[in-house]
Structure 1
């Protein structure tokens, strides 16, 4: 249901690793003057912290107890969103290959997802939020007015990730294709909130689309769903 207080709606963008969800969600939020919530960054922040403190995913009780004491902040800025954990800026640190390799395993912990989903829902109560992840339309914001399932071929997603990482990380395109395919399998097969398209979500294959085309398509959907120009 649309909020009568501000005329805005919520937008959920789901999809597999490397689909470009975060980039598009940021651009859509900027175009609509909405708030962008990067749920993936929240799981990455927890994963980074656990790795730093030697807490493995199979130590579930230790993970949950430690996570309860974490303060995760998503702070928008001119240069993009900053991610803070207990006031430490971890924006770049959470994008490491070490975090990539383990984030899906931590994300399978039911209690951790419960903690973070509760926080994410609170962020969306006042509407005007663009949220991306893997279970936003199915679990976190099932009542979002616009739901997108954004994907691309494994090869294209690996190519995009390679272009992002090639100057800072030593990894081959072939290795990235393997890692992304493995991540897809983990996300789709996990018992808790698996990656899947919501029944009322719009499938969007971005393999042959640029970021501007994808952004404009989603903004157009938002406008047709009741977003009003005067609510900006």
Structure 2
């Protein structure tokens, strides 16, 4: 039977880490929807499209030549034949991605793509050969996959999320690294919250607060939630 796990939450809450772990444990595909928005931002910038021209951005994204690897251990992103896996994580893309992600036309285009990817993973033609998928990102638990078998909202205190993202990006959580990262966490959440609800759990969505949990404890808690939601 196919299994769909949906993960939502603010920046730095651990969606990617938890998502990849659950995908490995259950043999599922892994979809990082945030990477899709980053890829769209990279593509528009690469083509010289003004991100303030909403219609032009939507037109570009409508034909976005995007390829995603759903293997949780090899989450590659290719745009128009170019491997942009590393490029979409640069500060330049991170700084501008919310301008694309808050474009409602872009969201509509990518939501359709996300639903199609999730549906395909329930078939033998999918990367998981029908076992299912873990999808994480904005709107996943409420708009994209409201009927997912398991829906989890990952949250953590702002300072905990900031420290984790600083370690990820800069290898340190000292004062300098924290300040260099703060804008990415606080501004992106503020921008994205204008078009998406990811700070409070909707009905049927289980909240997992990892503020005071180690990584191992967070992953174990997520596994317990999956088991409970599946009735096993």
What TM-score results when the alignment is normalised by the length of structure 1?
0.86
User: In the alignment, what sits opposite 2:221?
Assistant: 217
**2:100 corresponds to which of 85, 106, 112:** 106
Contact 2:10-2:189 within 8 A present in 1 as well: yes
Superposition map of 1:59-208 within 5 A: 59-77=53-71, 79-125=73-119, 126=122, 128-166=132-170, 172-188=177-193, 190=194, 192-196=195-199, 197-208=201-212
TM-superposition CA deviations, 1:54-106 (whole Å, max 9, x none): 22332111111111222211114585310111121101110111111111121
Query: Does residue 1:53 correspond to 2:47, yes or no?
Result: yes
Contact 1:14-1:133 within 8 A present in 2 as well: yes
| Structure of higher RCO (CA pairs closer than 8 Å, 6+ residues apart) | 1
Query: Does residue 1:41 correspond to 2:35, yes or no?
Result: yes
TM-superposition CA deviations, 1:41-62 (whole Å, max 9, x none): 0000001111222223321111
Q: Distance in 1 between matches of 2:73 and 2:21?
A: 13
Contact 1:32-1:219 within 8 A present in 2 as well: no
Q: CA deviation at 1:178?
A: 3.8
Contact 2:37-2:97 within 8 A present in 1 as well: yes
What is the total number of aligned residue pairs between the two structures? 218
Q: CA deviation at 1:167?
A: 5.3
Query: What RMSD, in angstroms, separates the aligned Cα atoms of the two structures?
Result: 2.1
Q: CA deviation at 1:37?
A: 0.5
3-state DSSP of counterpart to 2:107: helix
Q: Distance in 1 between matches of 2:59 and 2:97?
A: 18
Provide structure 2 residue ranges, at least 5 long, that are not aligned to the other structure.
123-130
Contact 1:29-1:130 within 8 A present in 2 as well: yes
3-state DSSP of counterpart to 1:25: helix
Contact 1:39-1:133 within 8 A present in 2 as well: yes
Provide structure 1 residue ranges, at least 5 long, that are not aligned to the other structure.
1-6
User: In the alignment, what sits opposite 1:16?
Assistant: 10
Q: Distance in 2 between matches of 1:148 and 1:181?
A: 21
Contact 1:139-1:193 within 8 A present in 2 as well: no
The 3 A distance-change label for structure 1 pair 227 and 74 is: farther
User: In the alignment, what sits opposite 2:125?
Assistant: none
